[in-house]
Amino acid sequence: MLWVKTFFGILFQTILLGIFLYLPALTLNWSDAFLLLTIHFLMTILASAYLLIVKPESIEARMNYDSKTQPKEDRLATALMFSAIIVGLSLAPIDIFHLNLSSSFEGSIKNIGLAIYIIGMLLFMASINANEFAETTVNIQEERGQKVIDTGIYSLVRHPMYTGFIFFITGVNVWLGTYLSLFLSLTFLAIALRSRISIEEETLLKDLEGYEDYCKKVKARLIPYLF
């Protein structure tokens, strides 16, 4: 059953991603977007199949959305986060197909954007693999014996999944968008991440044993040795 739910979840996610890209473009004649969606679907399917075999609890955690236990502040931060992702995706086709306010990326720089996007996906997947408690909402999972995760990618930064989002949005806008769409998308995402990380760390510091010591050991939130 979990395999079926995961497959349809990935399919829905890919379709939603396509809507956020193609709907603002008002055209289906966009081969670069189709390539990105194909890569996204294949990478997510392969990574999810691996996790379903070796660590199904990580997949179950990502599917668990309990709004009843989610603090009001986190609901607002989550909404802001999703809005920033939608804006980050939609600005690329809006400027490319309609506004033409700035230049698009070309040549090797454009190809680097696709590579950055893939790195973002890999970071996101590595985070799920390392952290079986990575739910979409901020709450302490006492019934599952939640503990501090300080291994794997979490030994480098405290919020690697959000680092993945930064690479994800950057890659999409370099591959598909313009200089302006990249700047505005990262600005929206930075505002959302600041709010979400602040609320998340406040909850974890207050309620999760050992998290304060973890913060002292791993000082970087998103980028090692920087911030």
Domains of the chain: 2-217 (1.20.120.1630)
DSSP code string of 21-38: HHHHHT-S--HHHHHHHH
Q: Is 108 in contact with 41 (CB distance < 8 Å)?
A: no
Kindly report whether the global pTM for this prediction surpasses the value 0.95.
Answer: no
Instruction: Give residue 60's Cα distance to chain centre.
Output: 17
User: Mean pLDDT of all residues in the chain?
Assistant: 90
Q: For 151-190, write each residue's pLDDT tens digit.
A: 999 999 999 999 999 999 999 999 999 999 999 999 999 9
Residue 126 has pLDDT above 80, yes or no: yes
Q: Is 143 in contact with 171 (CB distance < 8 Å)?
A: no
Residue reference for tokens 């769409």: 181
> What is the structure's pLDDT at 15?
97
How far is residue 170's CA from residue 174's CA, in Å, rounded to a whole number? 6
Please state the rounded mean pLDDT for residues 208-216: 93
Structure tokens at 129: 């693999």
Backbone angles phi, psi at 178, to 5 degrees: -130, 175
Q: For 70-120, write each residue's pLDDT tens digit.
A: 667 778 888 888 899 999 999 999 999 999 999 999 999 999 999 999 999
> pLDDT band at 69, cuts 50/70/90?
low
Structure tokens at 113: 């954007």
How far is residue 61's CA from residue 175's CA, in Å, rounded to a whole number? 31
Query: Is residue 148 within a helix (H) or strand (E), and if so which, with residue range?
Result: none
**What does the longest C-alpha to C-alpha distance in the chain come to?**
52
How far is residue 31's CA from residue 22's CA, in Å, rounded to a whole number? 11
Q: For 33-53, write each residue's pLDDT tens digit.
A: 999 999 999 999 999 999 999
Query: CA geometry: angle at 25 spanning 162 and 120, to 5°?
Result: 20
> Which of 64-73, 173-182, 211-220 has the weakest average pLDDT?
64-73
- In one letter, which amino acid is 165? F
Residue 225 has pLDDT above 90, yes or no: no
From the CB of residue 26, how many other CB atoms can be counted at a distance below 10 Å?
10
Residue 62 has pLDDT above 80, yes or no: no
Q: For 13-34, write each residue's pLDDT tens digit.
A: 999 999 999 999 999 999 999 9
How far is residue 158's CA from residue 151's CA, in Å, rounded to a whole number? 10
